[in-house]
A and B are shown apart, each in its own frame.
Chain A
Amino acid sequence: MPDTPETILNVNDNEASRYATSRILHRAGFKVLEAGTGGEALQIVREDLPPLVIMDINLPDISGVEVCRRLKADPATASTMVLQMSATNIAVTDRVNSLAAGADSFLVEPVEPEELEAVSRALLRLYRSEAALRRALAERELLLKEVNHRVKNSLQLVLSMLSLQGHRFKEPETRELFTKAISRVTAIAAIHERLYQDADPLTVEMHTYLTGLCAELVRASGMEENAQASLQIEVEEVRLPTEHGVAVALVVNELVMNALKHAQPANGPASINVRLMRHGAGQVRLSVADNGEAPEQSANEVAGLGTQLIRMLARQLNGTVSIERAAGTYAVHVTFPLQSAVSWRPPY
């Protein structure tokens, strides 16, 4: 029970009935506001936000059912509890309509004072517990937003730290190692920028994700400036579960990094093509192709890690890796089943 008396708005155009109801409510310890018309009632609810409105169904201007419908339709007043009252001779359909319009309860007059008080208390109890739930939900949402912000910010710090460190190395090999590490971390971190801001936080839309990453790969390679390589992206609008999205992005990262390094055709710039398309029934195929020579199997430790990563990630996707060599092209395909994600529905 709250310490201060709770407020109830009593709406009735019949002065005698209104007085009788107010008297019962006063005696029960409530603070009572009064209105004689629907218009007045709407205005008082908007201004004073009483937790409960007790309202006669027959009002001179707007019907009680309509007043109730408007109160429930407006987010600012929707939480107000409405108890509709009417005389004995009202048809069942009117009572049904009234409840359908959002009234929380209905009483037929004459009502015993005890019953009016008990129903009022029950509705106020309901109002309080709904208010507590709304507060708890708002707090949770705030907390989630905060945690989400923290995660993204920490990832940003990781990336900034690595980049600052990487720029300070003079030896090309060390720089390259750092560039690779940064690129891999970027592929993982970048998904967080895409998630949570659209309707479905459990899946990631691959088009924007991969387009952004590829643009960054080209930039980081420095190949754009001297027109040594061009990159085309063809990604179907497909959503993947988050873990699959990250795995695909990491594979793209490895393959494009390899291609940028090895795809140097004898004449003309390297052309790299990244495709992610539906492939047959329930399958998706990722292809990274270039117009260069097939890379030799390198004993280099770094290239070795890349190859291993691709193999492990393809396995994580339940996919298969195939390599296609033809005159002037080299392509790696990863084909994997399109797993239907647990789809997200907002709980309200």
Chain B
Amino acid sequence: MAATVLIVEDQMLIAWHLSDLVEGAGHRVLAIARDPAEAMEAAAKQRPDFALMDVRLHGGTSGLEAARMLYECWGVRSIYLSANLDTATRAETEQWQPLGFVGKPFLPAEVLAAVERAAKSVS
């Protein structure tokens, strides 16, 4: 089942790599957003099935902010990607019904497994 995905990642190389992976698996990447504002703008234009969210944007934790806004405004849920997925971060995302967690450096197989699970559960 093909899903539409919003990638929220401030490091363009990694975003590009993720985009290649997601599209290679037959899904469609609607946009690459680098911060909460861009994520909201992209989602306003076209609603994604879910987001692939880097927790730490620009050195902060604004990925969580972006995830919250996407969820509260449109019920868009996220798969969380981070190099520091500690228990506190995971607990904080609970309220926005996380679709999965993938640690960085990621294994493409793990990203795709999470994407497939997400595509099933939001369809």
Residue among A157, A160, A216 making CB contact with B107, cutoff 8 Å = A216
The contact size tier of chain B is 20 to 34
Expressed in whole angstroms, the Cα–Cα distance for A197 and B87 within the complex equals 9
B105 & A192 in contact (Cβ 8 Å cutoff): yes
B103 & A157 in contact (Cβ 8 Å cutoff): no
With contact pairs A160-B17, A163-B17, A164-B20 given, residues A216 and B108 touching in the complex (Cβ less than 8 Å):
yes
* Chain A residue contacts of B108, Cβ below 8 A: 163, 216, 219-220
Encode contact with A along B75-93: 1 for CB under 8 Å, 0 otherwise.
Answer: 0000000011110000000
A161 & B13 in contact (Cβ 8 Å cutoff): yes
* Chain A residue contacts of B74, Cβ below 8 A: none
Encode contact with A along B104-117: 1 for CB under 8 Å, 0 otherwise.
Answer: 11111110110000
Given A164-B13, A192-B105, A193-B103, 16 new contacts (CB under 8 A):
A148-B84, A152-B84, A152-B104, A155-B105, A157-B13, A159-B105, A160-B16, A164-B16, A164-B20, A186-B105, A186-B107, A190-B105, A193-B106, A197-B85, A215-B107, A215-B109
30 pairs, CB–CB < 8 Å, chain A vs chain B: A145-B84, A148-B84, A152-B103, A153-B11, A153-B83, A153-B104, A156-B14, A156-B83, A156-B104, A156-B106, A157-B13, A159-B17, A160-B16, A160-B17, A163-B17, A163-B108, A164-B13, A164-B16, A164-B17, A167-B20, A186-B105, A186-B107, A197-B86, A197-B103, A212-B107, A212-B110, A213-B107, A216-B108, A216-B109, A219-B109
A-B complex: 7 closest residue pairs judged by Cβ atoms: A160-B17, A152-B83, A219-B109, A216-B109, A193-B103, A156-B105, A216-B107
A312–chain B nearest beta-carbon distance, Å: 24
**B56: Cβ under 8 A from any A Cβ:** yes
Q: What total of chain A residues lie within 8 Å of the partner, measured CB to CB? A: 27
A160 & B13 in contact (Cβ 8 Å cutoff): yes
Query: Which A158-192 residues have C-beta < 8 A from chain B?
Result: 159-161, 163-164, 167, 186, 189-190, 192
* Chain A residue contacts of B110, Cβ below 8 A: 212, 215-216
A190 & B84 in contact (Cβ 8 Å cutoff): no
* Number of A-B residue pairs with CB-CB distance less than 8 Å in the complex they form: 70
Expressed in whole angstroms, the Cα–Cα distance for A245 and B45 within the complex equals 47
Expressed in whole angstroms, the Cα–Cα distance for A192 and B84 within the complex equals 11
B55–chain A nearest beta-carbon distance, Å: 11
B83 & A190 in contact (Cβ 8 Å cutoff): no
B85–chain A nearest beta-carbon distance, Å: 7
Expressed in whole angstroms, the Cα–Cα distance for A212 and B105 within the complex equals 12
Residues of A within 8 A of B (CB): 145, 148-149, 152-153, 155-157, 159-161, 163-164, 167, 186, 189-190, 192-193, 197, 212-213, 215-216, 218-220
B6–chain A nearest beta-carbon distance, Å: 18
* Chain B residue contacts of A216, Cβ below 8 A: 107-110
Task: List the A residue with the shortest CB-CB distance to B85.
Answer: A197
A21–chain B nearest beta-carbon distance, Å: 43
Residue among A167, A189, A197, A215 making CB contact with B105, cutoff 8 Å = A189
Expressed in whole angstroms, the Cα–Cα distance for A205 and B113 within the complex equals 21
B105 & A218 in contact (Cβ 8 Å cutoff): no
B56 & A149 in contact (Cβ 8 Å cutoff): yes
